[in-house]
């Protein structure tokens, strides 16, 4: 009879925060490879193969420092089925390294389509990654399938809330009749959806995507969602700073992961790294950029009042 019962998957928030605590680093590397920005020696006629080779070097150089990686699917889908194969190979390689994987696909739909997206990304039938970014625009019945699957499978979700792009204000900052901004309303809903999914860490599996470029909004949303993990894009290349993102963390320094994509993986193209690392050592530039990012964020966290 014992064999009939499968152990419950470990809570996603507990797994993620455990890895952050182990490595003492709340950073996330975005594997968003652009073929035109790859070092010339890696380029060839097989672009998807070049993307994987590039990713593998970045992963090998940083996996002992980084608890979680985020993969933007658009940079793979652009090459069709061969690009998707590069995505699958990257995910498989990260799993071998025992890394937590977030797929940034911003999926959503209703009914059977939402279920299909769940299977594609969160189940063993598909890519079976740890977490997925989703869009709340269609409302509760479009997100319920994702949340239910995430609960059963030990997965996580990050719901678009206040994104880092400048024109996010077009919709997300609209003022409601109750005086709240739309992003605040979304934050309130996420707090509801997250309730009851908390693990031992006190955090739940329904997180929020909040741009590192909006520190005042981060402050407001942290109060609205005290038990949701924040995924913050926009650090570095988009202008977000460590001084801005510290507002996403709780008093114990938990509850957020800071993503950098271009600023890490293409650091070899920019100062100060291009002066120190030739293009053939791009992965060492990425490693140093990860170390610098960690010291920047952790340093600011330690200096908080």
Distances (CA, A) of 132 to 7, 40, 170: 23, 32, 24
d(CA 188, CA 226): 10
For the chain, the straight-line distance linking the first and the last C-alpha, in angstroms and rounded, comes to 54
Q: Give residues with Cβ within 8 angstroms of 55, minimum separation 6.
A: 31, 33, 86, 90, 93
Active-site residue, 243 included: no
| Residue ranges with strand state E in the chain | 27-30, 68-72, 100-107, 131-134, 156-162, 206-210, 230-232, 256-260
The three-state (H, E, C) secondary structure of 45-64, written as one string: CCHHHHHHHHHHHHHHHHCC
DSSP-derived 3-state class of residue 251: coil
* Residues 6+ away with beta carbon under 8 Å from 221: 161, 162, 183, 184, 187, 208, 210, 230
DSSP of 262-282: HHHHTGGGSTTHHHHS-GGGH
As a whole number of angstroms, the distance between CA 251 and CA 305 comes to: 9
Of the candidates 106, 151, 155, 220, the residue annotated as catalytic is 106
Question: How far apart (Å, rounded) are the C-alpha atoms in residues 55 and 258?
Answer: 19
Q: Which residues are catalytic?
A: 106
């Amino acid at each position: 009879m014992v064999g009939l019962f499968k152990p419950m998957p470990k809570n996603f928030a507990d797994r993620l925060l455990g890895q952050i605590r182990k490595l003492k680093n709340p950073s996330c590397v975005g594997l968003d490879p652009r073929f035109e920005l790859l070092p010339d020696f890696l380029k060839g006629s097989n672009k998807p193969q070049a993307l994987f080779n590039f990713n593998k070097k970045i992963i090998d150089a940083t996996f002992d420092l980084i608890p979680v990686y985020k993969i933007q699917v658009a940079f793979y889908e652009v090459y069709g089925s061969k690009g998707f194969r590069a995505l699958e190979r990257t995910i498989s390689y990260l799993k071998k390294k025992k890394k937590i994987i977030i797929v940034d696909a911003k999926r959503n739909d209703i009914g059977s389509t939402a279920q299909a997206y769940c299977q594609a990304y969160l189940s063993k039938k598909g890519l079976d990654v740890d977490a997925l970014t989703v869009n709340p625009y269609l409302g509760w019945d479009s997100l319920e399938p994702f949340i239910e699957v995430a609960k059963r499978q030990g997965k996580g979700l990050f719901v678009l809330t206040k994104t880092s792009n400048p024109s996010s204000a077009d919709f997300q900052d609209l003022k409601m009749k109750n005086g709240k901004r739309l992003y605040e309303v979304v934050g309130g809903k996420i707090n509801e959806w997250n309730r009851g999914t908390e693990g031992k860490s006190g955090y739940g599996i329904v997180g929020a995507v909040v741009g590192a470029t909006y520190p005042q909004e981060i402050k407001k949303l942290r109060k609205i969602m005290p038990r949701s993990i924040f995924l913050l894009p926009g650090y570095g290349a988009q202008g977000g700073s460590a001084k801005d993102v510290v507002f996403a963390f709780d008093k114990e320094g938990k509850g957020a992961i800071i993503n950098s994509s271009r600023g890490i993986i293409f650091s070899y193209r920019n100062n100060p790294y291009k002066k120190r690392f030739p293009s053939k050592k791009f992965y060492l530039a990425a490693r140093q950029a990860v170390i610098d990012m960690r010291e920047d964020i952790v340093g600011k966290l330690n200096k908080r009042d």
